[in-house]
Amino acid sequence: MPLQQWILLSMPTWFIAITMILVAVGTAVGGVLLVHRFVNVKTLKSHHDIAGPIFATIGVVYAVMLSYVLVIVWQNYDRTSNNAIREANLYADIYRDTVGFSEPFRTKFRAALGDYLNSVVNDEWKELARGQGSLQTRELNARVWELTGAYEPATEGEKIFFAEMLRRMNDAGELRRQRIIDAQAGIHPMLWIVLLFGGLITVVFSFFFGSDNLIAQLIMTTLLSVLIMLILFTILVMDFPFSGDISVSPASFEQILQYLK
């Protein structure tokens, strides 16, 4: 299990947020005070002509990288949420398609489908938070396919309903596999290292600007550090869409289960 996912599972979101903000504030305040203790303000000011353009370049490069990663993570989270809703809607359509079949297949299929969807909500969603699917849910899904594969449509009408139901079952199966993959996928650790060190470099570089008003510099540096940390926090909590307090919920499947009753 990746470290980021372990953090999301082991700690509440509010604790992660407070910890990251405290680290940002402590780094900014401690760094500025440390530099001002050992380096004279006039010495720092004498390097502004060189440090200014370099800091601006560093800031732009890091801001572009940070915003790009944030957008990608946000889009992946939205895509995963929409896929879950689409998957649930497909099962509602599949259930509705069974009106075109005769007994006892219709009753058996609906019961098996209900068991599967209950397992998705109550079993698999917990496993998704750990980045894996549920073995029990997979077995119940196989049971649905066994019933489907053993059924032979008797009329032209049943053949039409059966073909449409099969298409939707295949689409739902693909979305389930994608859901499990999305539960495992996250930002590569190397990219996290780049993001963290890039943020640290950006904040540390700001320590070496001289200001006669120490309080103003402390405030500005702290705000910069907190802003960077808040964006990193947002990336972290949305990196694994099924893990943590801010995660994709099984609400769409729960609504479908109400529809099946």
What are the structural domain ranges in the chain?
A: 3-260
Collapse the DSSP code of 55 into the 3-class scheme (helix H, G, I; strand E, B; otherwise coil) and give the result.
helix
Collapse the DSSP code of 210 into the 3-class scheme (helix H, G, I; strand E, B; otherwise coil) and give the result.
coil
* Mean pLDDT of the chain, nearest integer: 88
Cβ–Cβ < 8 Å for 233, 239? no
Query: What's the one-letter identity of residue 148?
Result: T
1-41: per-residue pLDDT in tens? 778 888 888 889 999 999 999 999 999 999 888 888 877 77
Of 245, 244, 221, give the one whose Cα is nearest residue 25.
221
Window from 71-80, 153-162, 222-231 with minimum mean pLDDT: 153-162
Cβ neighbourhood burial of 220 (10 Å; 0-12, 13-18, 19+): middle
32-81: per-residue pLDDT in tens? 888 888 777 777 777 777 777 888 888 889 999 999 999 999 999 999 99
Q: What are phi and psi of 246, to 5 degrees?
A: -95, 90
pTM (predicted TM-score): 0.85
- Angle of helix 214-239 relative to helix 48-97, nearest 10 degrees, comes to 30
